[in-house]
Chains A and B, each alone.
Chain A
Amino acid sequence: MALQYDHLQTDTIAAIATAMSEAGIGIIRISGPDAAAIGSKLYRTPQKNKTDISLWRPGTIRFGYIVEADQDGKENVIDEVMLSWMKSPHSYTTEDTVEINTHGGMFLMNRILALVLQAGARMAEPGEFTKRAFLGGRIDLARAEAVMDLISSRNEFARKTSAAQLQGAVSSKVKELREKILYEIAFIESALDDPENYTLEGYTNRLMGTCEYLEKEMHTLLSHADEGRILREGIRTAIVGRPNVGKSSLLNHLAGEERAIVTEIEGTTRDTLSETVRVGGVLLHLTDTAGIRQTEDKVEQIGVHRAQQALDRAELILFVIDSSRKLTVEDEEIAERIIENLREDKKCILLMNKTDLSPEVSQEQVEELFTKRGSECPPLLFCSLQTGEGTKELGEFVSELFHTGEIAEKNEIFLVNLRHQDAVKEALDSILLVKDSIENGMSEDFFSIDLMNAYRVLGTILGEAVEDDLVEEIFSKFCLGK
């Protein structure tokens, strides 16, 4: 009989519960008292309505969408999912649990996980679901011990990884930031412990400067982390072009050829918004920007609008042009938008489709779309998705753009995972709280609460302890009198 435990967990944790792989369905598990509330925030019914998951019959699984609100509060669909609801104690962890079954591959899983964390869950530690399951009396000791071995070995792995990371750019950056924070804490603490020897007069200006530096560096770290993730987790790719130029054909062609479709939920295959494929050794998360839902009549009108949305998120743009028809105003508009994006260092490949038909558009005309707007023309590829001519070269183009690009050179940043990003984000929040405190004229001893938190959280990236080294720092850097 399972023991009855009053387990003391009050926070809600989340993580990807299935092994990370490029294909197959992934599960994001959310466990804890806020699981239903967090799920309800992100999940929409097939009719795009909100729902209170806690009111569902326990043990049900439903189809729907995960959405993310943009800056204007408009909700965009991130992925189609199956969402299951298990009520305490009838779940793996014995806590309220929501599981999001995604089909979008690693990239989408991480994206959804990030949303879940944003909505209030904490990133689970390795083995934490099992720990809770065990503490909740859900699994027996033999099983728990088996899992423990796994955790121990994972810790060993983590230790080695973190040792390797110590030589990496991110780790040395995190270390530098921590040292800066520790110095400030130590200074404040010294002044508080020994007010007659240390004055904090005018100190806030200096601290403000440090905070601004920390804020800037953490932002950079977070953006680099995204770049690092691209290599490991793939590239968000938008297929744009006016209607009927062959965008869906491109999608289907790539998916079919690579046989790496990850969206095999029945009845949804051809309705999908996205596919994950491997092209030229790089994972591409493709989004077709229009014309997928053929039931909609106003395809033509929404084309450009959709392209805009996809462009905002994309890191790679595949611009499809129908070489058998003359360029239109829409092509001009799309080119304009792409140029805006190119200024943000995004990549683009031009596909001149339908080379099997007689050409109505010349290479010069296409190049002019860009050059007359003062931009260099992206690499251009002639192909026919109908016959397959030229499509092989797409792989080479992608490979060239990304393997020789600057992203690959930042290889070490690759090690920054979502947990680390989580930590840096929390540290950044704490630094912003310090800035608030300074601006509100709080006295210095209040700064250290949040500085300490930033220091501690960054320490979890390096696996270092907090309490002892603070005292060490105080002693080594400052001379305390009395």
Chain B
Amino acid sequence: MEYHIDTQICVIGAGHAGVEAALACSRLGLKTVIFTMNVDSIAMMPCNPHIGGSSKGHLVREIDALGGEMGKNIDKTFIQSKMLNVSKGPAVHSLRTQADKAEYSKTMRQVLEHQENLTIRQAEVMQILTEDHKVVGVRIHTGTVYRCQAAIICTGTYLNARCLVGESITETGPSGMQRSTGLKDSLNGIGIPLRRFKTGTPARMDGRSLDYSKMTIQEGDKVVIPFSYSTDPADVQIEQVPCFLTYTNEETHNIIRQNIDRSPIYAGIIEGTGPRYCPSIEDKVVKFAEKTRHQVFIEPEGRGTNEVYVDGMSSSMPDDVQQRMYRTVPGLENCVIVKNAYAIEYDCINANLLKLTLETRDVDGLFCAGQFNGSSGYEEAAAQGLMAGINAAMKILGGEPLVLKRSEAYIGVLIDDLVTKDNREPYRMMTSRAEYRLLLRQDNADLRLRKYGYRVGLISQEQYDHVCEKERMIEEEIRRLKSIRIGAARENQEYLRAHNSSDLKTACSLAELMCRPELGYEAIAGLDPDRKPLPKEVTEQVEINIRYEGYIARQKRQVEQFDKMENRKIPAAIDYDDVGSLRLEARQKLKEFRPTSIGQASRLSGVTPADIAVLLIYLEKYRAQRGETIMKGREG
């Protein structure tokens, strides 16, 4: 008889998706086991050493607002922090930090080790066990079965991975870690097809071999803003480590051009699809031939190591070409390579076979998250892990699933894009993907999402009360500033002139006055004697909401239209063959994707507005036949 252990949820993989999933499940009270090929690789950062960045910083904030761990962990382990785009509008401000990779991993492992209900197990999961298309357990390489009600696959880039450096191919996972192989047959056996994606990473060098005097120093911010709403800002004002900027040149590009036939991608050895937005230096040189130089950032991998990361020069060229090409870059003339740049190919799924809850449509209780879903990036992985964990827990606990809308969160955009769109390469989050980004700012993630974290149980009453109180104070202050009017009295005019502003022609409200570019909330303090001291997090929101009111209002109107379609739900049992006058292409798409709302259906490529109209009519008929009244969408 087989040996088995009873648990409730199995999380396969302990990268950034896996740890968030496992923590969410165990924190919601479910007995959880997290499997990893090697406990030393928990929350490992095998590629770049940053957390955050444009739009990714938003994801980290959102993860934190919902009760995830990434923000807290990076606040404890960062070595440099920068708010990007500060010269731009508040919607695109984005935090980016350099992590101490080893510390990040170690600290996250400690969080897992101290988490109640959570067991860490070093093992390779070989098989997903199902009965009647429902997950009942997983089998590990020793034969032991862990019985569970839900499994979350977060295998990242490990599944059937191979790494390529020129003609050299090694069958390993990232950074020389052992790859996993067993799961492929099992997944195919339960009807989950796999596909192959590719990504790459640059070389790591011994920092002592570089000449930093030939590069431009890049310091962190003087005042650091933490990622997590739970972190005391005083705790993150630490001594930071600089990065350095240098550039490639025509010599670099010539070496690449002369050896392009030795690149496994251009030689046709690599078949997986790589990301366009994270191109190798070969790709940049070939596709953007007119550029005479490309940026190269030298970034430390941690305080306790000499290793540095050569950002901007990922490659899969043979070792000798790499050596020559890196040495053409100013400051890298004598560089000593610790780890080669390499490309990695791995198995993943097409996330189109998932529901918006990240559960597979065809296997009950099987959830998927992270790079296994065809995304790229630590933050994208963590966000999915958190959502998959929450939804797996909700399923077992009988709670309502948590699906965030595109108009509510970058996480909503991320998952909707992965599940709905035709993604043919690793998916990276970008601000341009968020249609309603003026509302989805990194500064208001708590106001947008704390309520959901509270609802599912990852946010405490106290944390929730705090955000409700904050919201109340913001509204009250905006109302007050709009109601108080300032007349054209002489002392007011003098005050304005003293603040480099022009005279008032007629009386206006404090709010209107604040909108003058040269003024602001702080600048008009002298005209506002009744003002009570408010926390900075409140005044910041007041300022943004008043200053950008017109834009915010226009964006909210766009969201209203969008939400109408999102709130029209499509029943799971609908038979599209029964829907007359749908065009063939649309019918196939709808059958394949099984969208949950009219809004989601309208985003499928190949589904036209006419098809949507047909579908709306059919849905009414469908419900009428079943004696139901129209299902009204929930208020978001």
What is A's interface to B at a CB cutoff of 8 Å?
3-6, 8, 10, 125, 127, 131, 134-135, 141, 144-145, 148-149, 151-152, 155, 185-186, 189-190, 192-197, 440-446, 449-450, 452-453, 463, 465, 467-468, 470-471, 474-475, 479-482
Return the contact of A148 from the options B54, B84, B312, B614 (Cβ within 8 A).
B614
**How close is B406's CB to chain A, nearest CB, in angstroms?**
10
Cβ–Cβ contact B312 & A481, under 8 A? yes
A440 contact set on B, CB distance < 8 A: 517
Task: Give the nearest-CB partner of A437 in chain B.
Answer: B551
Query: Can you pick out 11 interface pairs between chain A and chain B where the beta carbons lie within 8 Å of each other?
Result: A8-B567, A151-B610, A186-B432, A192-B54, A193-B54, A449-B555, A463-B608, A467-B435, A471-B430, A479-B279, A480-B276
Inter-chain contact B87/A443, CB cutoff 8 Å: yes
| Closest residue of A by beta carbon distance from B294 | A481
Whether a CB of chain A sits under 8 angstroms from the CB of B287 is yes
**A7 (CB) vs chain B CBs: closest residue:** B630
With contact pairs A3-B630, A151-B610 given, residues A482 and B85 touching in the complex (Cβ less than 8 Å) = no
Sample of 14 further A-B pairs with CB below 8 A, known A193-B55, A449-B555, A481-B295: A8-B567, A131-B617, A144-B620, A148-B581, A148-B617, A149-B581, A190-B432, A192-B432, A193-B430, A193-B432, A449-B551, A471-B433, A480-B277, A482-B312
B114 CB within 8 Å of chain A: no
Given A10-B560, A192-B92, A471-B433, verify A152-B614 contact (CB < 8 Å).
yes
Q: Which residue of A lies closest to B48 (CB)?
A: A482
With A141-B620, A152-B614, A467-B435 already in contact, the answer to whether A5 and B630 are too (CB < 8 A) is yes
User: CB distance A145 to B89 under 8 Å?
Assistant: no
Which of B560, B568, B605 makes the CB contact (< 8 A) with A465? Answer: B605
C-alpha spacing A446/B621, complex, angstroms: 43
What is the CA–CA distance of A155 and B560 in the complex, to the nearest angstrom? 26
Task: With A3-B630, A479-B288 as known contacts, state yes or no: A131 contacts B294, CB within 8 Å.
Answer: no
Q: When A148-B581, A479-B288 are in contact, do A194 and B608 touch as well, CB less than 8 Å?
A: no
Q: Is there an interface contact between B614 and A482, defined as CB atoms closer than 8 Å?
A: no
Measured between beta carbons, the chain B residues less than 8 angstroms from A3 are 620, 624, 629-630
Q: How far is the CA of A209 from the CA of B567 in the complex (A)?
A: 41
Please determine whether B621 and A141 come into contact, CB atoms closer than 8 angstroms: yes
B-side interface residues, number (CB < 8 Å): 60
Interface flags, B38-51, vs A, CB<8A=1, else 0: 00000000001000
Given A155-B610, A467-B603, A480-B277, also A441-B517 (CB < 8 A): yes
B621: A residues at CB distance < 8 A:
141, 145
In the complex, what residues of B have CB within 8 A of residue A5's CB? 629-630
With a cutoff of 8 Å between Cβ atoms, the chain B residues found around residue A193 in the complex are: 54-55, 277, 430-432
The docked-state distance in angstroms from the alpha carbon of A159 to that of B432 is 29
Given known contacts A443-B89, A467-B603, is B613 in contact with A127 (CB within 8 Å)?
yes
**Once the chains are docked, how many angstroms separate the CA of A444 from the CA of B88?**
7
* Residues on the B chain within 8 Å of A479, using CB: 279, 284, 287-288, 291, 294
Are B92 and A445 in contact, with the CB atoms below 8 A? yes
Docked Cα-Cα span, A475 to B288, in Å, equals: 11
The answer to whether A446 and B89 have CB atoms under 8 Å apart is yes
Question: Which residues of chain B have C-beta atoms less than 8 A from A196's C-beta?
Answer: 295, 297
Question: Hey, which chain B residues are within 8 Å of A446, CB to CB?
Answer: 89, 438, 548, 551
CB-CB < 8 A to B560: which residues of A? 10
Contacts of A186 in B (CB 8 A): 432
Whose C-beta in chain B lies nearest to the C-beta of A188? B432
Judge whether B421 and A194 touch: CB under 8 Å.
no
- Residue contact B431 to A443, C-beta cutoff 8 Å: no
Hey, which chain A residues are within 8 Å of B33, CB to CB? none
A134: chain B residues at CB < 8 Å are 617, 620
Q: Given the complex of chains A and B, what is the CA–CA distance between A353 and B193 in angstroms?
A: 86
A189-B610 in contact (CB<8A): no
Contact check, A189 vs B632: say whether CB atoms are below 8 A apart.
no
Among B277, B568, B617, contact of A475 (Cβ-Cβ < 8 Å):
B277
User: Complex Cα distance A406/B431, Å?
Assistant: 48
